[in-house]
Structure 1
């Protein structure tokens, strides 16, 4: 693994630990490029730059307390870092119009980050949003008979 690759892994680890788990939104400009683009299917459109990203992170922190990410695997080559993770938190704030439920949630996902000059330049999220919405009661999981038809 090259030094650049190891440095990029360290940036992603720091961003998860400080921003998502620690709620240190002021760290975002140190970790996210000015032209950063954040792609997440739960958003109507990508978020742009540190300010746009901060709004997204703050919204999730407003919806979920005690957020914790377990990094289950991190794979890096050059300027790309892929992270497999599990998020655990409590749904105690409104999420996309869904009232707080107090439910402890657990969501798995994969994030693909592209880094440039030591900062996050682009992020793609692929997580189990349907599972999240099932856990907080926003959608009903299929019954056994529905899933076998």
Structure 2
């Protein structure tokens, strides 16, 4: 039971680091060869730092509220939202000032006390619609 709680705490710490823009924490909690199974995503901790730096540049008030967190064996599943205000370029889209709020379901694999792998199913259609300039 303690290992499951520790794994959930690791994911909470990861989300908090993203929200705070404290990517140096990744050196401790993310495996160097972190594998993100999102299409087109390259492996590695440094790639992850660049990705989240870009996300926070586009959504500087980014929050990732967690609605559900479930752990089993070496896996932690998370249902969360991605929220923020589009104040910087993101995904090649100029700032719109729009508020975004899209849900995501994520699965992390923990190895040796670090995040080692990640899978995600997210509502990218809603995110892209919310990033679109208004009429």
TM-score, normalised relative to structure 1: 0.85
In the alignment, structure 1 residue 117 sits paired with structure 2 residue 116: no
Deviation at 1:40, TM superposition (A): 2.6
Q: CA deviation at 1:39?
A: 2.5
**Structure with larger Rg:** 1
Displacement after TM superposition at 1:50 (Å): 1.3
SS in 1 for 2:70: strand
Q: Distance in 1 between matches of 2:85 and 2:38?
A: 20
Higher strand share: 1
Alignment-derived partner of residue 7 in structure 2: 8
Match of 1:70 in 2: 65
| CA RMSD in angstroms, aligned pairs only | 1.2
- State yes or no: 1:129 paired with 2:127: no
Task: Mark the runs of 5 or more structure 1 residues left unpaired by the alignment.
Answer: 139-149
Equivalent of 2:38 in 30, 37, 40: 40
- 1:142 aligns to what? none
User: What SS class does the counterpart of residue 69 from structure 2 fall into?
Assistant: strand
**1:64 CA displacement:** 0.8
Secondary structure (helix, strand or coil) at the match of 1:83 reads: strand
Moved more, 76-85 or 89-98: 89-98
The correspondence for 1:83, drawn from 63, 66, 78, is 78
TM-score scaled to structure 2, two decimals? 0.93
Residue 20 of structure 2 aligns with which residue? 22
Return the alpha-carbon distance in structure 2 between the equivalents of residues 89 and 118 of structure 1: 29
Supply the distance in 2 between the matched residues of 1:61 and 1:31 (Cα, whole angstroms). 19
Q: Which structure 1 residue ranges, 4+ long, deviate > 4 Å from structure 2?
A: none
Corresponding residue for residue 103 of structure 1? 98
Kept in 2: contact 1:103–1:136 (CA 8 A) = yes
- Asked if structure 2 preserves the Cα contact closer than 8 Å seen for 1:91 and 1:100, the reply is yes
**1:24 shift after superposition:** 0.2
